[in-house]
Structures are given as C-alpha cells and as structure tokens.
Amino acid sequence: MHKSRLAGFIIDCRTEDLHGAARFWSKALGMATEILPGQEGDSYVKLKVPDERLHIEVQTVDHDSRVHLDIEADDIEAEVRRLEQLGAKRLKKIQTWVVMEAPTGQRFCVVRPQNKDFDQNSNRWD
C-alpha cells in the first residue's frame, strides 16, 4: 500500500506581476519569499514555510487564478483590516468567517483558530 499526504499549495496567479503577487501572499501568510534559480524563477516564487511543513509557491498562469485557503486569526476583524491594507477585498461575512479576494483574484477565508495548537503570539504582523 502506498502512502500520501498534503505536499503544499501552488497559488496560480493570472498576472503579469509575479513578484507583486508573491509579495501579497508573503505578507498575508507571514512567510519570506525565495527567488528560484534559472527559468523556474521566471514563473515561480517560493514561499518559505516555517519548519518546511508544506511546500507553497506562487505561480504565474494563463488560466483563471485558483486556490482556496483559510487564514486563521485570533481577531478576525483586525486580520481582515490588515489584509485589506495589503490590497485584498472583503466580499462577505458568513457565520463566523469572512470571505476575501486577493489582488490577483483568489478567494480565501479568514477564520477562527482551527488548530488546537494555535499560538496567539506565533504570528504577529505589526
């Protein structure tokens, strides 16, 4: 029997400004960027995940932008305002979470902490 697990996310961005898209996602997720070598760097920017738990890259594409992810926060409204300052748009509030759209068109949600190990002091972007 084979084994499998989540490797990470590729954030497809229909954009001419790959580095602008990478800056948004880098700041939104609290991760540094890494420019990839050679021709790979023309189409991808790696987001450096703490402890390398997941592989996440921002990719420029010709098709519609696609991805869905949740950003957990101990103060949803404060996080939504921070993301709006980075260029995201608030689309609607559903129950306890807020649906947003990144400058490159991806929709994502800001949600209450989902992980029982969520550390309120681990991700501050002040």
Q: What is the pLDDT of residues 85-117, one digit of tens each?
A: 999 999 999 888 898 999 999 888 888 886 555
Instruction: Quote the number of domains for the chain.
Output: 1
In a domain, 118, yes or no: no
The stretch 12-36 carries a mean pLDDT of 93
The stretch 51-61 carries a mean pLDDT of 79
In a domain, 53, yes or no: yes
**More confident position, 120 or 96:** 96
CATH number for the domain that contains residue 105 = 3.10.180.10
In a domain, 102, yes or no: yes
In a domain, 88, yes or no: yes
Long-range contacts of range 31-34, CB-CB < 8 Å, 24 or more positions apart? 31/56
Give the range of the structural domain holding residue 57, as residue numbers without chain letter.
8-111
How many beta carbons lie within 10 A of that of residue 64, not counting itself? Answer: 9
